[in-house]
Amino acid sequence: MVKFCFVALALLVACCAVQAAPSYDDVEAAWENFQAHYPQKKDASPQKIAKRKANFIKAHAMIEKHNKIKSVTFQMEHNEFSAMDDDEKKQYNGARPPPHHEGSKFINVDESAVSTRQLPASLDYRTDKCLASVKNQGSCGSCWAFTAITPLEFAQCKKTSTPVVLSEQQLVDCDTSNGGCNGGWYTSAWYYLKNGCAKQSLYTYTATKNTCKYTSAMSAATVSSYGSVISNSPASMQSALQKYGPLAVAITVVNSFYSYKNGVYNDVACDNLGVNHGVVVVGWGSLNGIPYWIARNSWGSSWGSSGYILMQRGVNKCSIEKHPAVIVSVV
């Protein structure tokens, strides 16, 4: 009887172990499905494909393990990052804080009295006519340029009541205070854009750094003034969002971020590390009692929730509340 119970227990443990980990067949099916959506390059060598598959299997295990945890507040999924290695993924970041901000050129947006002000439960600019469609920076570390341009597009549209789509490529090619595809910072970009920003249709995006082609005849918007928002003050960020529009912020991207699907992102792995990516906060709200920021990414509309991510609000998640800044006015 004892032997029977032991064998039964062993079979039960083995069964649970099989259910806890994806089978080889499940991984193969997922890999085939992935390749159908993200085909390998025709000239890819067997070694390159094998490396891609190894990266995918690692990502698949992470995603499966995470999504099976009932208590998680966000879900993960496969996307173009699933087959990339760490160095390739880093090319999609690019926030590089300068050693010194622009001093007197950097206006402080003081919203210190906001704690006593009534704020709405939610705000969402995603459907505002002044917010252009989500863009894709590609494998160029130009997130800083996209983070700089979105608030400018919004501010210009609010002034003229006419939507406008502006050029990130101008910043990549022409802004010598930043590093093109090697990274930069949004407030440095705004300082450069005091001399004008081209329409995207006149200066299209290539995801590579080229010779500067900007002329004043291309200009469709000009930054007049911009400001920092009090660091680590969610209420100040909310007030600035209401008053001026979308906020430029810097965050720390870690592995789980690349595979985000939906829900409120709250991975502790990104906390208390240096920032490496720029995104734009376009609103706030709460889901299942968890307060969040709505952050607009620059990895295309197929990433995350139509190009957006909900990030936990009020706890400086991934340093999102550390470096907020906003365009105050345009010429």
* Residues with catalytic roles: 143, 277, 297
Bridge pairing between strands 219-221 and 197-198: antiparallel
Calpha distance 300→205 (Å, rounded): 13
Residue 94 and residue 144 in contact, taking contact as beta carbons nearer than 8 Å: yes
Type of residue at 244: Y
Type of residue at 238: Q
- Report, in this order, helix, strand and coil percent for the chain, each rounded to 5: 40, 20, 40
Residue 309 and residue 320 in contact, taking contact as beta carbons nearer than 8 Å: no
Q: Is 210 helix (H, G, I), strand (E, B) or coil?
A: coil
Query: Cα dist. 252→84, 115, 195 in Å?
Result: 18, 27, 30
Q: What is the DSSP secondary structure assignment for residue 214, as one 8-state letter? A: -
Calpha distance 166→220 (Å, rounded): 7
Phi-psi region at 103: left, alpha or beta (left = phi > 0; alpha = psi -120 to 50): left
Calpha distance 297→278 (Å, rounded): 8
DSSP 86-105: HHHHHTT--B---SS--GGG
Residue 84 and residue 55 in contact, taking contact as beta carbons nearer than 8 Å: yes
